[in-house]
Amino acid sequence: MSILNAFTTQMVQFFEELGNTFPEEKDLKMATESVKGAKKINPRLLLNLFVEYVHKPCSKAIYEKNIHVIRRQMHETISTQFNDMMVILTTFDKHWETMGQKNQDTIWQYLKVLCLLSEKATAAHSV
């Protein structure tokens, strides 16, 4: 399995798990289908979107588990543009305080793995 494939597979699993955790979030279901389609048609697009809108502005906060920085960044980004990556962040913003510690830990783990895989995929692509 290539690093890019590992990244996109992890991304799809993350969206699916969030969709199962928050079935009332219809935007999350649509974003999951969009991510699945992008994985098939243009997997590099998923990587580029993640790097641009999540990794670059939030990787330090993700590694430090700093939800406040992530929320601030999400609000700044949503005010100027919207994409499927923002669906995840709006779901966090809406549900973070009421979800249990286990769910929060799972989300942090997914985000950390996605950051690590995106770093490896980006490095592999630039070689």
pLDDT-above-90 percentage for the chain: 57
- Sign, Cα dihedral of 29, 31, 33, 39: negative
Residue that is written with structure tokens 């979800």 in the block: 99
- Sign, Cα dihedral of 87, 88, 92, 93: negative
Residue 91, pLDDT score: 79
Residue 33, pLDDT score: 93
User: How would residue 61 be classed by pLDDT, with cut points 50, 70 and 90?
Assistant: very high
Residue 26, pLDDT score: 87
Residue 91: alpha-carbon gap to chain centroid: 11
The residue count for the chain: 127
- Sign, Cα dihedral of 45, 40, 94, 65: negative
Measured CA distances, 6 to 25, 55, 124, 125 (Å): 26, 16, 13, 14
Residue ranges covered by each domain of the chain: 3-126
What is the rounded average pLDDT for all residues in the chain?
Answer: 87
Q: How many CB atoms lie within 10 A of CB 97?
A: 9
